[in-house]
Amino acid sequence: MKTLRRILKKPLNIVAIVLIFSIVSMAFFPKFFSTHDPLEMDYESILEPPSRKHFFGTDQFGRDMYSRCVHGVQKSVVVAFSSTSIACLFGTALGLISGYYGGLLDLLIMRVCDSFFAFPTLVLALFIVALFGNSLLNLIIAIAIVYTPIFARTIRGSVLSVKENLFVKASKTLGSSDLRIMLFHVLPNVSSILIVTFTTNLSTAFLTEASLGFLGLSVPPPQPTLGGLVAQATAFLATAPWMALFPGAIIALIVLSLNVLGDALRDLLDPKR
């Protein structure tokens, strides 16, 4: 509760938390928030501007843009959260093993991670999705692969300092297994860094998913994604700017909210502060 009160002291953090809560609610209950079927075409309502009937206007097929944005948020949340969670799981495991054991194993794991860092994040994700095909599962796997080395290197650096503490050496002396030491002594002491890393990379995972959707390598149409909605709107920027404005604004708000929350958690959990 004390941690929560410290976060809620800043109005910007409150706004970010409210926005994140709203986005997550949309992702879990899209039918509750949407007003129309996102795939339903209405040729009598083509390219209508925002109104009471269509809050965000309609697209070139008369589909309700608000409902498509709501369902697009669901896809983005599923992809970003799932891929970041998988990357966090495997990256943390690799970072713990690499930092705790060191030696040749550490060298091998870090050089593999360095090989992934040699490529820009988006380019590597683009290559993986293009190689295996654009589906929801392949998209999650591609982004998870790209972000796993980030978690591995971050956690490994923290483990290197934690493992030199006396409580770790005492546990070894008492006969605790390496697995027990890593899970119950080392991991809890790097959890604050892990939380901040997860939040920060969750926002960039949203951007990566949106970028792939813009390039046509996200969930196949007619299923809506935020990046895909922006891509479809590029041909109508002069005649129907609302088609790009609203999904683009939602992407910006999601990334901004996660970055604000990540900064708040970093400041709160940083031992130097």
Match 């599923």 to its residue by tokens.
Answer: 78
In the predicted model, is pLDDT for residue 9 greater than 80? no
What pLDDT does 13 receive? 82
Q: What is the mean pLDDT of residues 196-224?
A: 86
64 DSSP β-pair partners: 58
Task: State the DSSP H helix or E strand holding residue 220, giving kind and residue range, or none if neither.
Answer: none
Residue 170, CA atoms < 13 Å, CB-side half-sphere: 5
Q: What is the mean pLDDT of residues 17-38?
A: 88
Is residue 262 very low, low, confident or very high in pLDDT (cuts 50, 70, 90)? confident
How do residues 91-130 score in pLDDT, each as one tens digit? Answer: 999 999 999 998 899 999 999 999 888 888 888 888 888 8
What pLDDT does 2 receive? 64
Q: Which two tokens stand for residue 58?
A: 């309609």
Q: What is the mean pLDDT of residues 268-273?
A: 61
Is residue 88 very low, low, confident or very high in pLDDT (cuts 50, 70, 90)? very high
Lowest mean pLDDT, pick from 2-16, 32-46, 136-150, 250-264: 2-16
One DSSP character per residue, 160-202 reads HHHTTSHHHHHHHHTT--HHHHIIIIIGGGGHHHHHHHHHHHH
What pLDDT does 4 receive? 62
Q: Using CA atoms, how far apart are residues 255 and 247, in angstroms rounded to an integer?
A: 13
Is residue 145 very low, low, confident or very high in pLDDT (cuts 50, 70, 90)? very high
Q: What is the mean pLDDT of residues 191-212?
A: 89
DSSP conformation class of 270: -
In the predicted model, is pLDDT for residue 156 greater than 90? yes
Q: Using CA atoms, how far apart are residues 28 and 246, in angstroms rounded to an integer?
A: 20
Q: Which two tokens stand for residue 247?
A: 């999904």
Distance of alpha carbon 49 from the chain centroid:
31
Q: What percent of the chain has pLDDT over 70?
A: 96
- Hey, which of 2-6, 10-14, 211-215 has the most confident mean pLDDT? 211-215
How do residues 160-193 score in pLDDT, each as one tens digit? Answer: 888 888 888 888 888 888 888 888 889 888 888 8
Domains of the chain: 66-269 (1.10.3720.10)
Contact status, residue 89 vs residue 83, Cβ threshold 8 Å: no
Q: Using CA atoms, how far apart are residues 218 and 162, in angstroms rounded to an integer?
A: 40
Q: What is the mean pLDDT of residues 142-168?
A: 90
What pLDDT does 1 receive? 57
